Amino acid sequence: MAKIVTSQLQYKNYAVDKISVESNPAFKQSPSNSIDNLDIDFNVLTKGKEQSFLIELILNINKSTKAFTNSRYRISLKLLSIFEFSANTPRSEIDKLLVPNGLAMSYSTSRGIIGELTGNSINGKYVLPTVNFIELIKNKSRKTTTKLRK
């Protein structure tokens, strides 16, 4: 039997801090023709211990009235995810692994939550699109750097 090798990064827990799902009863197009406006933001916080972190993932889909008018749903979700690294993990590894992997795992959890909530709705199940988290992280880094320069 093969030995299971676990990652230094462990997804310990998650909780929905805020969620809102609103169906658009006037939506007439097919779901495949719907173009959604997806906004993603995130924050990374240390959770007491040096090896424990909290990632806040904030998703807003079709937040504006105009975007919602042409879409099946308006969705807002704030997910809190707790991650821990093994005690011997070097800081360089934490810096390399936490944000891209933590965001991907949190987003995956969000996909399940939103899919489950919309699955029985009048407009059918909504599946979050695949996201390039490397680009998202780079964009957030650029925005943060720009704010610091001002």
- The confidence score (pLDDT) of residue 149 equals 45
Percentage of residues of the chain with pLDDT beyond 90: 69
E strand map for 1-150:
9-23, 38-46, 52-61, 73-85
pLDDT (tens digit per residue) in 88-99:
899 899 999 999
Domain boundaries, the chain: 9-149
pTM reported for the whole predicted model: 0.87
Q: pLDDT tens digit string along 36-57? A: 899 999 999 987 667 899 999 9
Query: What would be the CATH architecture of the domain defined by 9-149?
Result: Roll (3.10)
Q: Is 12 left (phi over 0), alpha (psi -120 to 50) or beta?
A: alpha
